Amino acid sequence: MPSLKEVRNRIVSVNSTQQITKAMKMVSAAKLRRATEAITQMRPYSKKLTEMIATVSSNADGSDENPYTVVRDIKKVLVIAVTSDRGLCGAFNANVGKTVINLINEKYASQQASGNVEVMAIGKKGSEYLTRRGYIVTNQFAGIYARLSFAAVREAAEEAMKGFENGKYDVVEVVYNQFKNVATQVLTTEQLLPMVEKKSDLLKPSVVDYIFEPSEEEIITELMPKALKLQVYKAVLESNASEHGARMTAMDKATDNAGELIKELKLQYNRSRQAAITKEILEIVGGAEALAAA
């Protein structure tokens, strides 16, 4: 059984840890509000731009000539793993890493066997996780979340787009956590390139009838690169909000666990102290009886 001093020191240590987890929870809550505002404002814009491109592409005769819609035999693959730069957010980063590994093993096993699967890591933790497990991480974009902006994410998107356009990659996939609420993040895998037209019942010619100026082909050429960069930026915003939600939940649970541990340690401390007092009383009584007998 540990001494009273050891138990007392441990109570002080756990109490200090609890104060840290409480502070981290409050910081994550403040950051989460800003992150959710950013992604809430981004979603309608992203959805409308995607619908616009789908509408224009359905009417354009030369849309197949766009370099970002070319479908090739899949020989070389790029997977963009969107994680965080910091830990202490539960299984948030590990889940992305596991999803990337499952995607590669299930969908691109032959390409992986020939060494033609590369990973672009947006976030330090994803790079560390996948590198330790022997996957090829060619590009790492760490520090993006310190000053998160479209300009900061654009470089990563342009790197992937340039690689696809030049034939370095035949397909580009993005894996990230989609923000649902504070306690729930949905692991999402999306194909970034080649860009696939998503035709909807809302985009019937009878419902959507526009006069385009300039031509549909020119609009597609101008909008498609912006839409691709925006898709990557949206994934990073989703991941950012999810990270703060996951950290807030993890720190809340850590605070509760610390409270339970403090209760157990205090109970152990009181029992040890009572045992020590009882022992001293018995020694005194025993000594007194020995003196009386003498």
pLDDT tens digits, 70-116: 889 999 999 999 999 999 999 999 999 999 999 999 999 999 999 99
Rounded CA separation 265/15 (Å): 11
Quote the tokens at residue 51: 């619908």
4-20+252-286 and 24-251 in the same fold? no
Please count the other Cβ atoms lying within 10 Å of the Cβ belonging to residue 2.
13
Task: Give me the CATH code for the 4-20+252-286 domain, please.
Answer: 1.10.287.80
Residue 54: its pLDDT value, please? 73
Residue 3's contacts (CB-CB under 8 Å, 6 or more residues apart) are 272
Show me where the domains of the chain are located: 4-20+252-286, 24-251
Grouping H, G, I as helix, E, B as strand and the rest as coil, residue 48 is helix
Domain 24-251 belongs in CATH node 3.30.1330.40: no
Rounded CA separation 23/43 (Å): 30
Q: Which residues of the chain have pLDDT under 70?
A: 1, 57-65, 197-210, 294
Rounded CA separation 65/19 (Å): 59
**Is 236 within 8 Å of 178 (Cβ atoms)?**
no
In angstroms and rounded to an integer, the radius of gyration of the C-alpha atoms of the chain is: 29
Rounded CA separation 31/206 (Å): 45
Q: What percent of the chain has pLDDT over 70?
A: 91
The vertex-85 CA angle with 84 and 91, nearest 5°, equals: 45
**Is 232 within 8 Å of 159 (Cβ atoms)?**
no
Residue 198's contacts (CB-CB under 8 Å, 6 or more residues apart) are 50, 54
Known catalytic residues are 89
Write the DSSP symbol of residue 147. G
Residue 118: its pLDDT value, please? 95
Residue 276: its pLDDT value, please? 83
**Is 81 within 8 Å of 120 (Cβ atoms)?**
yes
Q: What is the pTM of this model?
A: 0.84
Phi, psi at residue 62, to the nearest 5°?
-105, 20
